[in-house]
Structure 1
Amino acid sequence: MGIHSRYGRLVVSSFLLAAAATSANAQSTLALELMPRAPQSTGVQLYGLVDSALGYVSNEGGHASWSMIGGGGDRPNRWGIRGLEDLGDGNHALFVLEGGFNVGTGTISQNGALFGRQAYVGLSNDRFGTLTLGHQYDFMVDLVGYSAPASGNGGQFSFHLGDLDRLGGERLNNAVKYRSPVYEGFQVGAMYSFGGVAGNFNENSASSFGISYAPTSTVSMGAAYTTVHNYQQALGIGTTVLGLSLAGFPPNAIYDRQTVFGAGVSYSPGKLYTAALFTLTSLELAGKSAVFRTADVGASYQILPRLVLGSALTYSWLGDVHWTNFTGGLQYFLSRRTDVYLQYAALHASGPDVNAQLFLALPASGSSQTAVSVGMRHVF
């Protein structure tokens, strides 16, 4: 089977097309987070995204910093191969192999894993849905479309703090995942990740569930739930949770269990796109628990045929600690697959023993941190 790069360009850039030509939906590359789903034509397709930006952070450890964001300023870089075989009678075999990379250094992301973003194989049926096995996203990633900051208004610096609610795209290893067909606007899914520990079925295991409903072409809503045993938190939020430091990039923050729930809604009439989302994350350790909540609301508008402006407000709280993050973004589309962008995020933290720490940034020396990024992106 040959590589049909034309198909990859058309499908993977579908949200770029929408943003540039038909609507103000700020999810210009959201399809790359939710996809790849099963292709619509048989064969093997190559797809990906190359994104790089110059970033400024006002305060990292008391000093301003400038850097090249080689892993992607708006969306993480990736390339992938996906395939579909028609087995007849509405049945298909499919696979996806997807890896991340840093365009600034040429190195592989995800700790050097060749296909660290996604790797799975499965079967689909037009009537009964799709079953896949491998290294896959849990259903929390389906809610990205309802998170206004994460769907294009402020780039990676605007993602929810520490990715505690998994909207940044967290994967589960050794997972079996089922997604139903769409029926009267409804779609459901379930997923289980085997822990792989002999004699202990729960250790390192995880499960996830999702539901979505789109009654019209302009309204969509969804909810998801994920629980992970022996969960390791890799990104910081600038404070301590249950006695474990979550500042910077914590190497040993392992919790007995992580439980996440989220629900969101979006409305996109014509040139306007609006979204609202709420997530709740519970971390458990030695019989104690802490609950981290986040709510965000935002909108974007296609002010010119090639120009999209967006802004969002995110509020998070954990006990007596509170965070407010204001984000904004401006995207100009040079073509259907290439755009340049300017993005802004301003975080303020309040409460005891907390420093501001934006997503993927080092913690500030105080309660405030601001980031600006200017970059370009090409989707293929």
Structure 2
Amino acid sequence: MKFITTRTLMAAAALAATGLSAKAQSSVQLFTLVDANVSHYSAGSKSGAGNVTSLNDGTTNGLNGSRWGIRTTEDLGGGLKAGVLLEGGFGVDTGAPGQGGRTFGRQGYISLSSSNLGELRMGRQYIFEDSVMGMTNPFGNALTLNPGTGVTNAGKALPLWLNAPRADNVVQVQSLVYSGFQAGLQVGAGEGTADRFHGVKLGYGQGAFNTALSYEWNRARSTGDSVNKSLTVAANYNFGSFKVLGGIQRNRDLVTTSGNGAFTGSNLTVTGDVTFAMDRTTGSTVGVEVPMGQWLFGANYTTVKYANAAGTSQTLGKAAAGARYGLSKNTFLYAAASVATGDLKDYISQKSVTQVGLRAAF
């Protein structure tokens, strides 16, 4: 009887320990990030705009857009983990919700990952192009150096490089890293109100060298044609004392009606010495990043050619430089400046931009 009691107590202790272990392997994290900057915009003489100084949330020329969120993970055993990420954006300059007022407009998905296979995600999430473009430029799609920051061309929004950067209703599958290679696939259902979105990504990284490409497109719900076809290729190499970065982007068959995916803008009209409706762009960027203690310096040059099938085209470029100073691992001061080049430089409201900002995360 004593033996049975001892075994029972030992079993109970083991179960209790297992329960405690399971709880220890599950987590819920509440996080927030706030980023604000003061920017001065000098307008081109033919843009129809005036010079402006404004306080911006980090979504405009900052290190990061302001946000708050909840992240959960649960270890299911056998190499399986479940996760949830709910992330809402807001403008710290006004306090208004971001992403059109969505509760979790930045991201909202559930995931299941395997240490042997890879990861499945379902929900609103970043498209692959955003991460690939982030490999092409200093600071990773930030400050005035961001190739994805659009411009105002004669009063209308115009993209530089395409950068949606999220899509709705996305099912994503991403592999593990095998010998430096990793692949991913995304499909976003149109659900009758938007075009179906597709994206593929292939990346490779070994040591100091990293490269990746993404290809994304919409299947038009009205015609079944493939539109908004976007190819982005990136590469960078870290020499230790500095890193060189670069990439190209090629976009074809651009339309404004897809509503979900690589291009979600509402304007394809280019106004310059000639005015025309463009349906394709070709861009490139090259830059350098230099760490010095708590400082990180960067500079790059980005260019794009807007064109249509008839051969009409106009160019726009941006030369930029910036610096980031780490007050801690989560809090940064930053500053940057850019100046436009090319055919359209006098037709945009952001011919030159200077900025200073502060970002903190908890």
Post-superposition shift, 1:228?
2.2
Q: TM-score, normalised by structure 2?
A: 0.76
Q: Is this contact kept in 2: 1:152–1:329, CA < 8 A?
A: no
Q: TM-score, normalised by structure 1?
A: 0.72
Match among 311, 315, 322 for residue 303 of structure 2: 315
Paired with 1:310 and 1:173, the residues of 2 have a C-alpha distance of 33
Specify the alignment match of 1:14 in structure 2. Answer: none
- 2:140 aligns to what SS in structure 1? helix
Specify the alignment match of 2:196 in structure 1. Answer: 205
Trace 1:284-323 onto structure 2 (pairs within 5 A). Answer: 284=254, 290-303=279-292, 305-319=293-307, 320-323=313-316
Specify the alignment match of 1:371 in structure 2. Answer: 353
Specify the alignment match of 2:215 in structure 1. Answer: 225
Specify the alignment match of 1:124 in structure 2. Answer: 113
Change in CA separation of 1:355 and 1:325 when aligned onto 2, cut-off 3 Å? closer
Query: Which consecutive unaligned segments of at least 5 residues does structure 1 have?
Result: 1-39, 232-254, 358-362
Change in CA separation of 1:262 and 1:158 when aligned onto 2, cut-off 3 Å? closer
User: Would you say how many aligned residue pairs link Structure 1 and Structure 2?
Assistant: 299
1:117-141 CA deviation, whole Å, 9 max, x = no partner?
Answer: 1101121111111111111111111
Paired with 2:141 and 2:165, the residues of 1 have a C-alpha distance of 18
Specify the alignment match of 1:245 in structure 2. Answer: none
Specify the alignment match of 1:181 in structure 2. Answer: 176
Trace 1:68-87 onto structure 2 (pairs within 5 A). Answer: 68-72=55-59, 73-87=62-76
Specify the alignment match of 1:11 in structure 2. Answer: none
**Percentage identity across paired residues of the two chains:** 26
Specify the alignment match of 1:262 in structure 2. Answer: 232
Specify the alignment match of 2:324 in structure 1. Answer: 331
State the AA in 1 paired with 2:202.
I
| Bigger CA radius of gyration | 2
Post-superposition shift, 1:96?
0.7
1:321-362 CA deviation, whole Å, 9 max, x = no partner?
Answer: 111210100111112211111111111230xxx5657xxxxx
Paired with 1:53 and 1:191, the residues of 2 have a C-alpha distance of 34
1:44 partnered with 2:31? no
- 1:183 aligns to what SS in structure 2? coil
Specify the alignment match of 2:50 in structure 1. Answer: 63
Specify the alignment match of 1:18 in structure 2. Answer: none
Paired with 2:42 and 2:101, the residues of 1 have a C-alpha distance of 30
Q: Is this contact kept in 2: 1:48–1:78, CA < 8 A?
A: yes
Post-superposition shift, 1:180?
0.5
Query: Which consecutive unaligned segments of at least 5 residues does structure 2 have?
Result: 1-23, 151-157, 257-276, 308-312
Specify the alignment match of 1:237 in structure 2. Answer: none
RMSD: 2.7
Post-superposition shift, 1:219?
0.9
- 2:340 aligns to what SS in structure 1? strand
Specify the alignment match of 2:83 in structure 1. Answer: 94
* Range that drifts further, 158-167 or 76-85: 158-167
Post-superposition shift, 1:306?
1.3
1:283 partnered with 2:267? no
Q: Is this contact kept in 2: 1:55–1:374, CA < 8 A?
A: yes
1:151 partnered with 2:137? no
